[in-house]
Amino acid sequence: AQSVTQLDSQVPVFEEAPVELRCNYSSSVSVYLFWYVQYPNQGLQLLLKYLSGSTLVKGINGFEAEFNKSQTSFHLRKPSVHISDTAEYFCAVSPYGNKLVFGAGTILRVKS
């Protein structure tokens, strides 16, 4: 079975600092990878996705992620965070069919 590991449950960072949220997946076959964001008291929304092609994927709100097949990683980065980026971020993979398997989530806390 495919799984997703988000290595940090919480990441505190100061405003305008860079941030990296780590995600590793286990799979023996090609997968599609996603990052979703959940703002307080909201549902999840798609940040970015990797299906094929360039390993560097750009998403909304200045986020980007890099797919690394050899390290089975899909880390999310932003060069300069804002207070409004405070949220929980979920990495997800699609094993097969119309399904998404989510990681446990990483809470990003941006401090002023």
Partner 1 sequence: DAGVIQSPRHEVTEMGQEVTLRCKPISGHNSLFWYRQTMMRGLELLIYFNNNVPIDDSGMPEDRFSAKMPNASFSTLKIQPSEPRDSAVYFCASSLGDVGRGTEAFFGQGTRLTVV
Q: List interacting residues with partner 1 (CB under 8 A).
A: 32, 41-46, 49, 51, 90, 94-105
Question: Which two tokens mark 59?
Answer: 């998403």
Q: Are strands 23-26 and 3-6 parallel, antiparallel or unpaired?
A: antiparallel
Report whether 105 contacts 57 (CB < 8 A).
no
Q: Whole-number minimum distance, CB 93 to partner 1, in Å?
A: 9
Q: Is 87 helix (H, G, I), strand (E, B) or coil?
A: strand
Nearer to partner 1, 13 or 95 (CB): 95
Nearer to partner 1, 15 or 101 (CB): 101
Q: Whole-number minimum distance, CB 59 to partner 1, in Å?
A: 11
Nearer to partner 1, 48 or 81 (CB): 48
